[in-house]
Amino acid sequence: MITHMISAVVLTHNSQAMLEDTLTSLIWCDEIVIIDDDSTDNTAQIAKKHHARLISHKLRGDFSAQRNFGLAQAYGDWVLFVDADEVVSDALAKEISKAVQDNIQDGYYLKREDTLWGRTLRHGETSKVRLIRLGRKGSGKWVRPVHEVWQIHGYNTTLTHPILHFPHPSVRQFLSDINDYSTANAAYFYSEGVRVSWWHIVAYPTAKFFQNYVWRRGFLDGTEGAIVALMMSFHSFLTRAKLWQLWHQRGTV
C-alpha cells in the first residue's frame, strides 16, 4: 500500500495562548509547518518544542496569500490547515488518516465545533460551518484576502468528526477580531467595486441577528449564543459602515 505524507500547516501571530494544545493534537502528522507573522510572544519556542518547522512570513492583510505560501512550503502529498485556536481530536485524526490513505477525493470539508468560554455552541451560524481544510497538494488554491476559501478542483466530501475551535478568549478580543476582520472585508469589497447605501447598513446587521438568534435558534445557546448573534450582527454593520466610508472619502457616494 502506498503511504501518503500529511503536512499540517498552521498560521500564527502571537498565538501562544492555545498553540501548545494545537500542536499536541497534530503529532500524528508527518510534518508541522508554521507560517508565522512576526510573533513577539513565545510562539517560536512552542514551535521548537514540538519540532515544527517555523517560517517567518508577513501576513500583510492577505490570509489567502499566507495560506498559499504555506501550501508551497509543505512537503506532503496532502495538506491539512489548522488554525492556532483549533484542536484535532483523536477521532478526527484517525478519520483524516484513513481518508488520505484511501486517496479517493481531492479535498475534504471539515465541520467545526465552537466552544466559547466553556460552552459548546450547538446553534447559530457557527454550527453550520463547513470548511475545506484537507486537500491533495496541487489540487487548488486559496482565494479572498479575508474569510478565505480553499478552492479545490474535483469532488469534495465532508468528514464526520468536527475540528474543535476555541475562539475569542475574551469579549475584548472578540471585539478586536471583529474590528480587524471588518476592516479587511470592507477593503476587499471596495476593491471589487461593491457599493452600499444607508439601508444596507441597517438591514444587513438586523437580518444577520435574526438569522443567528431566531432562525438558527442561537437563543438555545444561552448568554453565549446571544453574544455571538450580537457580535456577528456588529461585524456585518462595521463591514458595511466602513465600506460606505471608503467610498465617501473618495467622493463617489
Q: Is-contact 21 27, C-beta < 8 A?
A: no
What CA dihedral angle connects 220, 226, 229 and 232, to 10 degrees?
A: -140
DSSP string, 109-177: EEEEEEEETTEE--SSGGGG-EEEEEEETTSEEEESSSS-EEEE-S-EEE-SSPEEE---SSHHHHHHH
- Round the average pLDDT of the chain to a whole number and report it: 95
Q: Give all domains of the chain, ordered by start, each with its CATH number.
A: 6-165 (3.90.550.10), 171-249 (no CATH)
Burial class, 99, CB count within 10 angstroms (exposed 0-12 / middle 13-18 / buried 19+): middle
Look up cell 471589487; give the residue. Answer: 192
pLDDT band with cut points at 50, 70 and 90 for residue 188: very high
Average confidence (pLDDT) over 124-142:
95
pLDDT at 120 over 80: yes
pLDDT, tens digit, for every residue of 48-59? 999 999 999 999
Q: Is the pLDDT of residue 203 over 70?
A: yes
Question: ∠ CA(63), CA(144), CA(128), 5° rounding?
Answer: 90
- What are 36's three cell numbers? 508565522
Q: Pick the residue with more confidence: 37 or 4?
A: 37
DSSP letter string, the chain: -PPPPEEEEEEESS-HHHHHHHHHTTTTSSEEEEEES---SSHHHHHHHTT-EEEE---TT-HHHHHHHHHHH--SSEEEE--TTEE--HHHHHHHHHHHHHT--SEEEEEEEEEETTEE--SSGGGG-EEEEEEETTSEEEESSSS-EEEE-S-EEE-SSPEEE---SSHHHHHHHHHHHHHHHHHHHHHTT----HHHHHHHHHHHHIIIIIIT-GGGGHHHHHHHHHHHHHHHHHHHHHHHHHHHHTT--
Q: What is the separation of C-alpha 130 from the centre of its chain, rounded to a whole number of angstroms?
A: 10
Q: Check if the beta carbon of residue 101 is closer than 8 Å to that of residue 190.
A: no
Asked if the model's pLDDT at residue 253 lies above 70, the reply is no
15-66, pLDDT tens digit by residue?
A: 999 999 999 999 999 999 999 999 999 999 999 999 999 999 999 999 999 9
CB 74 within 8 A of CB 31: yes
pTM score over 0.75: yes
